Structure 1
Amino acid sequence: MVEELVVAGVAVASGAAVYAIAAAKVIKQYERGVVLRLGRLRSQVRAPGFTMIVPIVDRLHKVNMQIVTMPVPAQDGITRDNVTVRVDAVIYFKVVDAADAVVQVEDYRFAVSQMAQTSLRSIIGKSDLDDLLS
């Protein structure tokens, strides 16, 4: 009888330990945690440090809040004076609202890259070669 209680106690304790390990998350200083509970956004974004979530029910998305540098692939374009040019660029961006970055856009890094490429082509088309060279 006592042996069965000890075995049951050990099983419950090990189950609780596994649950606690699955629920414990650490968010780094430069990140914010966006929690989706059953697909719905939780009201507040988690600050850096130790946080707990409900395993299986919650999903934690960590968003980097640092300034990110991203190269833009070389773009071929025709200037306003019909000269073909090839332009490289680098973009710098920073996420301001972590919840919007996760919920409003499917992949915010890809979206920023595509927007930069589109803007670069547009600027090339509106400029003269002399303006681009200067």
Structure 2
Amino acid sequence: MPEPLEITSRITIPEYELFEQFVTAGGPGGQNVNKVSSAVQLRFYAAQSGAISSDAKRRLMRLAGRRATKEGEVLIEASRHRTQERNRDDARERLRQLVLEALKPPPPPRKKTKPSRGAVERRLKAKKGRGHIKAMRGKVNES
């Protein structure tokens, strides 16, 4: 049973909302790879969690993408390292970062603005100047 995961100083995910399972990791590793369960699957029961708000849960499920299940769980798999402990720490840190990102409120919608009259006039003057330069590139008429 994993210990609680501290997200911020005010938010902690209790241990009963987390489930860790150790599995064999794929990839290179020689004879040891089939014997040792060093990869970690960390499950966070987000739908039932009381640690984060419902808005944050919605953002978390959207951010999790394929790592989110239909039951409202977030599944983090870690097999980057050779030891169970480092993979466990890696999975917990990745979950922590994901929850921190979900806790950030979305930015307010952009307010539409109009360019100032001076900016419009400068833009049109510059366009006319570029047009005049391009018109001067043509053949010379000797009449």
- TM-score (norm. length: structure 2): 0.31
- TM-score (norm. length: structure 1): 0.33
